Amino acid sequence: MNRPESSEYDAYYERYVSLVTDEDIIAALEKQPAELKDLFANVPEDRGTFAYEEGKWTLKEVLSHLIDGERIFGYRVLRISRGDETPTEGFEQDGYIENSNANNRCFAELLEEFELQRRSNVLLIKNLSDDGTRRMGTASGLVISVRGLVYIMAGHVRHHLSILNDRYLVK
């Protein structure tokens, strides 16, 4: 799958797309569950409710957010790639986190759920036609291509990996 043109997504999403420099987007997507597992391998369970600042998400809430994002991006990829022209709504990420019950879950379960969602999405993406990856649709009121969504998926995780490393898991 070729990298999306900047006309295939809103300028806001450049913050994610720009983080994906890999030639092989599928390989980049496939590596990310292991990257998350490695990052959390030595984090004690009781650290899961740590937030680096008042009002910020906890470690477990960040993982839950990545799972929510994965589901929603995957749903958008499915809809648009199949030619469904019905616009998809945005989602209020803070409301989703408030209702996620993330802090009562263990890291292993959250990481497994992300991995399963990602594996499912990778299978979907691998089997899209070239035409399917270039299809345009509307999500959150913005025009976007399937391949734009795929690059945003990878960049979104990289964005949060950076935040986790810089603000949560500083040694």
DSSP H helical segments within the chain, as ranges?
Answer: 14-17, 25-40, 59-81, 93-98, 107-126, 130-134, 146-163
Q: Does any domain span residue 1? A: no
The answer to whether residue 131 is domain-embedded is yes
| pLDDT of res. 171 | 61
CATH of the domain at 100: 1.20.120.450
Average pLDDT over residues 102-123: 98
| Nearest CA among 155, 148, 139 for reference residue 72 | 139
> Does residue 159 lie in a domain region?
yes
Indicate whether 170 pLDDT > 80: no
60-112: per-residue pLDDT in tens? 999 999 999 999 999 999 999 999 999 999 889 999 999 999 999 999 999 99
Q: Does residue 51 fall inside a structural domain? A: yes
List, for residues 14-55, the tens digit of each pLDDT value.
999 999 998 899 999 999 999 999 999 999 999 999 999 999
The reply to whether 64 falls in a domain is yes
- Report how many domains make up the chain: 1
**Crossing angle of helices 146-163 and 59-81, rounded to 10°:** 170
d(CA 83, CA 94): 30
What pLDDT does 78 receive? 98
* 163 alpha-carbon distance from chain centroid: 14
Q: Is residue 71, in this structure, part of any structural domain at all?
A: yes
| Domain that includes residue 11, residue range | 6-168
Q: Does residue 43 form part of some domain? A: yes
pLDDT of residue 137: 98
What confidence tens digit (pLDDT) does each residue in 150-159 have? Answer: 999 999 999 9
Residues of 24-48 as b/e, b for ≥16 C-beta within 10 angstroms? ebeebbeebbeebeebbeeeeeeeb
Q: What value does the mean pLDDT take over residues 5-18?
A: 97
In a domain, 113, yes or no: yes
